[in-house]
Structure 1
Amino acid sequence: MDAMALHTLFRPGRIGSLELKNRVIKSPQTTALANQDGTVTQRLVNHYKRLAEGGPGLIIVEYSYVDDDASKSIHAQLGISRREHIPGLGWLVDEVHAAGAKIGIQLEHCGRQKFLGTQPIKTASDVSWDYVESQYGERPQVLTEEEIQGVVAAFADAAERAWLARFDLVEVHAGHGYLLTNFLSPHTNKRTDRYGGSFENRARLTLEVVAAIRERVPRDFPFSVRLSVTDYEEDGIPIEETVRLAQLLEAAGVDVIHASGGHHALMEYEVSPWYMPRALHRWGWEKIKPEVTIPVIGSGSLVTPEVAAEVLENGADFVSLGRAMLADPDWTRKAQEGRLLDIVPCIRCNDGCLDRGLNAGRSTGCTVNPSMGEEYRYPVEPAAVRRRVAVAGGGPAGLRAAAVLADRGHDVTLYEPGELGGALVPATRSPYKQDLAALRDHLVHQVRSRPVEIIAERAEASALAEDGFDLVYVATGAVPRTLPGVRLARDVADPKDVVSPVVVVGGGMTGADTALWLADAGHDVTLVEAGPAILANREVFTDAGVLPKILAEKGVAVLTDTEVTGLGEDGARAADGRVIPAATVLAAIGNDSGSELAGALREAAPGLEVVTLGSAARHGRVFDALHGAFFEARRA
């Protein structure tokens, strides 16, 4: 899709009285960059200022807790519960305006989804979120009708604070499993009073919140409500009720419906990972849009300009992007300029932002953007001295390092005997890995568009030592572990290259990914793991929690507590003497770090500076390869 086909993204738009320069919105997404008391920090301001510089029409600031009783959800969450929050919020507004964007803020009560796990946890009914209960042993308390009126007042007070801070828009979070959704969904609302039972009763709290806000703030203050088209629970919110609610919200004075989906108990629908479709909630907002006259914002894995533009052409008035703009705050500007391969793509890994970010008690980060949350702190600047630098290996670490080194002004030579992309090449063979394939294409483009000499040969220690390099980065990747006579899973390029039945040995990410790919191609697959469970070696939580279910649905048989030692006459031979029937056996039993090249270089040229990167230094994920390469290269 060329730049002209993306023009729909950059048409001006209107939400109530608010005029926007384009149809691109930064979706609210918690960062944990505030102070512990909810006040604004310089890091938070820098984050949103940098997003504004990237060109979106509107930034909706992350969910902000509305009271000091039970609405705060997570550590270092932004607050809007007290007048003392207004000065910092006003500072944030002014900085974003100065950078050229409009700014809104989302109001939230966490309900049962209290990541902090501390009482009070207050919600519609005594229906626990198993994550909180299993982690902290705490169950929610049922809100009384008197407490419900306190919640309504808290939302209205918070909306007035947003107006006083001069935000351009206020949004109420009535989706994703937070308090208002706890009332809306039959899955979490088992009440028998006037706030439970019928749709009208379950919608009552949301409509009371909206009415209270509309009474408190000027009518021309734009007002958004974020809804889940459904929570995807079998006994949850039906789309017909969401459509009806959207109509009632419009009648109550709401100016725009922000439509996404899911809740935290089904996280794969809320922050959809790589194995879920892009634009996965589209079916829902396409049902809402014809039934209202106010605009609809479509949200949920709209990671590329092509997807976002197509959504605008067929079913939404605006698009909002969350993780995609963490990956590249210049997403909008680059899309408008037609520089699609320059956009750093979100790979929907949920690693930097969630798994080793918020879930670990840190601030939000990003696998592909090491500066996320630390904006302006790590510029890539010209080096004081230009050096001759060799990079051995064209995988993610080598490609990222080469591009950064070139931007620093160094004379860079990249050695790669195979296809550029390294471990990303076999990792992107599956159609599920379209996001990772986009990263591979981006990294290759960044190197090819810079003055980097690419030599399609294996780097040899003797040649590097003699060629006058000042510095060598070794990014030759990890060494896969093998089984006698067994083919490596990563070496299979086409499902037609194997014969069923297939045994994949190793239940880590590579093994599970291979099994899914081959099962989708119609093969009879058994996944064998020596340990008690697959995906148990600290895989990303959205992978570890859901992939086993997907494999089962695809018909993949899983054998655990089974060590395979090699090939038998008719399949894979187990340590206990069993033979697991197979026409093809593939090994995915892990990797070892280390590089013979680095050791040989240090021996051949003791004075040469040698740095190992990526899995050659320490086995890890894409996060580790890209972050390590970035920080090493910017120091050269």
Structure 2
Amino acid sequence: MSNLDRSNSAVSVRPLFEPFRTGRLELANRIVMAPMTRGFAPGGVPGADVADYYRRRAENGVGLIVTEGTLINHPAAAASPNWPNFHGEAALNGWARVVAGVHEAGGRIIPQLWHVGTTRKVGSQPNPEAPPIGPSGLDLTGGKVSEPLTETEIADIVAAFAQAAADAKRIGFDGIELHGAHGYLIDQFFWEKTNRRTDRYGGSLADRTRFAVEIIEACRRAAGPEFPIVLRFSQWKSNNYTAKLANTPDELEQFLVPLAAAGVDLFHCSTRRFWEPEFDGSDLNLAGWTKKLTGKPTITVGSVGLDAEFTKMYQGAGADPADLGGLLERLERGEFDLVAVGRALLHDPAWAAKVRDGRTDELLPFTLESTKTLY
């Protein structure tokens, strides 16, 4: 029996190590490193330690790396001076070195392009004078923190995303991911609690996708017809784990169709626990439903490889390695196409290689210490 037929379950890990291709994006396997904010980029510039951090995952068999959230060129995009920018010569040169290292190790990498919207607190660094911004100026509780964005301001933000896409292509990235999840700016347009607009950017769930559609279309124009565009979205928000954009498959379809038509190549479907059904009457998770409704490939994510979901991990208990049997069965039957691994990879850069080679007894537990350094 080959190493690929062994795992810590009775199910073969072989499906996890099948090649994958969609358009111009060719991957050696189905493992994706999930984006995770690290805060190791002082002044917004990723250094050699960040480049080495990502390279180690590529050297150990991760098929696709999605970087931590990187900030578009807008004064209110960030809420920390240690989060990496995706603009300016120094930051882009730093990212070019990251790309070079990952490619030399045989991996593929895309940046996650991010604007935090009204989750940013008033006075936050690195631009304390910039007010938080959002579609209606509301935070995730529905409280007012600023004035609604004007259409001119929206156009400027769309242009900033497009410039980041063009820069990503120029410095050698293999595509981009747009962060449309967890209650950040793009998601604030999606969610009726934070989008009360009565113009063309508000209204029905389908109408509330317009901002994202314009970003996708602008990125496509800026980076060309074959440059891969991934969209990460979620139902839950960072302050509300039970929030829903769509309560039924029909509503989810209304939401997804405009985004797919705009040019999304791959949907990254963020859930807290990948094994949970998204709707009653079906075992499909969010990635499974998204693939079924759009025909587009999908990435599943949510506590993969660990025996506790992430909110509990941060209550001091940590998490131990988990059996992959249920995940592998879902992948093999085609419910989704790729699997994003987050905290299991945070503390164990060799996670993919250990799973591939049947060395699951060597997998490391996750602890809070894992977040404090770049392993």
TM-score using structure 2 length: 0.82
Amino acid at match of 1:114: R
Which deviations, in whole Å up to 9, do the C-alpha atoms of 1:569-622 show, x marking residues without a partner? xxxxxxxxxxxxxxxxxxxxxxxxxxxxxxxxxxxxxxxxxxxxxxxxxxxxxx
Which deviations, in whole Å up to 9, do the C-alpha atoms of 1:383-428 show, x marking residues without a partner? xxxxxxxxxxxxxxxxxxxxxxxxxxxxxxxxxxxxxxxxxxxxxx
How much does 1:252 deviate?
A: 1.9
* Alignment partner of 1:24 out of 13, 28, 31: 31
**Cα distance change of structure 1 residues 122 and 13 upon mapping to structure 2, 3 Å threshold:** same
Separation in structure 2 between the aligned mates of residue 96 and residue 234 of structure 1, nearest angstrom? 37
Separation in structure 2 between the aligned mates of residue 243 and residue 142 of structure 1, nearest angstrom? 28
SS of 1:81's equivalent in the other structure is coil
- Other-structure match for 2:313: none
- Other-structure match for 2:131: 120
Separation in structure 1 between the aligned mates of residue 243 and residue 93 of structure 2, nearest angstrom? 43
Q: How does 1:348-427 map to 2 (within 5 A)?
A: 351-352=368-369, 364-365=371-372, 372-373=373-374, 375=375
- Other-structure match for 1:255: 265
Separation in structure 1 between the aligned mates of residue 81 and residue 159 of structure 2, nearest angstrom? 24
Larger radius of gyration: 1
How much does 1:246 deviate?
A: 2.7
How much does 1:139 deviate?
A: 2.4
Separation in structure 2 between the aligned mates of residue 254 and residue 234 of structure 1, nearest angstrom? 26
- Other-structure match for 1:5: 12
Separation in structure 2 between the aligned mates of residue 306 and residue 208 of structure 1, nearest angstrom? 40
How much does 1:124 deviate?
A: 1.4
- Please state if 1:163 is matched with 2:183: no
Does structure 2 conserve the Cα–Cα contact (< 8 Å) formed by 1:279 and 1:299?
Answer: no
Amino acid at match of 1:258: H
How much does 1:204 deviate?
A: 0.6
- Other-structure match for 2:312: none
- Other-structure match for 2:356: 336
How much does 1:16 deviate?
A: 2.0
* RMSD (Å) for aligned C-alpha atoms: 2.4
How much does 1:251 deviate?
A: 1.9
How much does 1:249 deviate?
A: 2.3
Amino acid at match of 1:200: A
**Cα distance change of structure 1 residues 321 and 91 upon mapping to structure 2, 3 Å threshold:** same
Amino acid at match of 2:59: E
SS of 1:5's equivalent in the other structure is coil
- Please state if 1:178 is matched with 2:180: no
Separation in structure 1 between the aligned mates of residue 245 and residue 354 of structure 2, nearest angstrom? 38
SS of 2:354's equivalent in the other structure is helix
- Please state if 1:306 is matched with 2:325: yes
Q: How does 1:308-323 map to 2 (within 5 A)?
A: 308-314=327-333, 315-323=335-343
Amino acid at match of 1:284: L
How much does 1:54 deviate?
A: 1.7
- Other-structure match for 1:462: none
* Alignment partner of 1:54 out of 60, 72, 80: 60
- Other-structure match for 1:97: 103
Separation in structure 2 between the aligned mates of residue 26 and residue 171 of structure 1, nearest angstrom? 12
How much does 1:236 deviate?
A: 4.1
Amino acid at match of 1:249: L
* Alignment partner of 2:40 out of 30, 33, 45: 33
**Cα distance change of structure 1 residues 185 and 96 upon mapping to structure 2, 3 Å threshold:** same
How much does 1:235 deviate?
A: 6.6
Amino acid at match of 1:219: P
Which deviations, in whole Å up to 9, do the C-alpha atoms of 1:33-55 show, x marking residues without a partner? 1122x112122112111121221
Separation in structure 2 between the aligned mates of residue 89 and residue 55 of structure 1, nearest angstrom? 20
Stretches of structure 1 lacking an aligned partner (at least 5 in a row): 262-268, 270-276, 354-363, 366-371, 376-636
How much does 1:307 deviate?
A: 4.4
How much does 1:140 deviate?
A: 3.9
How much does 1:327 deviate?
A: 2.3
**Cα distance change of structure 1 residues 189 and 142 upon mapping to structure 2, 3 Å threshold:** same
- Other-structure match for 2:281: none
- Please state if 1:223 is matched with 2:229: yes
Which deviations, in whole Å up to 9, do the C-alpha atoms of 1:334-364 show, x marking residues without a partner? 0011111211133xx6x346xxxxxxxxxx4
Does structure 2 conserve the Cα–Cα contact (< 8 Å) formed by 1:225 and 1:257?
Answer: yes
Amino acid at match of 1:190: R
TM-score using structure 1 length: 0.50
Separation in structure 2 between the aligned mates of residue 73 and residue 159 of structure 1, nearest angstrom? 21
* Alignment partner of 1:291 out of 290, 293, 299: 293
Amino acid at match of 2:157: V
Q: How does 1:488-527 map to 2 (within 5 A)?
A: none
- Please state if 1:238 is matched with 2:246: yes
Separation in structure 2 between the aligned mates of residue 200 and residue 288 of structure 1, nearest angstrom? 15
How much does 1:74 deviate?
A: 3.0
Amino acid at match of 1:202: R
* Alignment partner of 1:195 out of 201, 223, 237: 201
Separation in structure 2 between the aligned mates of residue 158 and residue 144 of structure 1, nearest angstrom? 22
Does structure 2 conserve the Cα–Cα contact (< 8 Å) formed by 1:257 and 1:296?
Answer: yes
**Cα distance change of structure 1 residues 236 and 125 upon mapping to structure 2, 3 Å threshold:** farther
Q: How does 1:455-466 map to 2 (within 5 A)?
A: none
How much does 1:99 deviate?
A: 1.7
Which deviations, in whole Å up to 9, do the C-alpha atoms of 1:496-516 show, x marking residues without a partner? xxxxxxxxxxxxxxxxxxxxx
SS of 1:171's equivalent in the other structure is strand
Amino acid at match of 2:291: K
- Other-structure match for 2:158: 152
Separation in structure 2 between the aligned mates of residue 247 and residue 99 of structure 1, nearest angstrom? 37
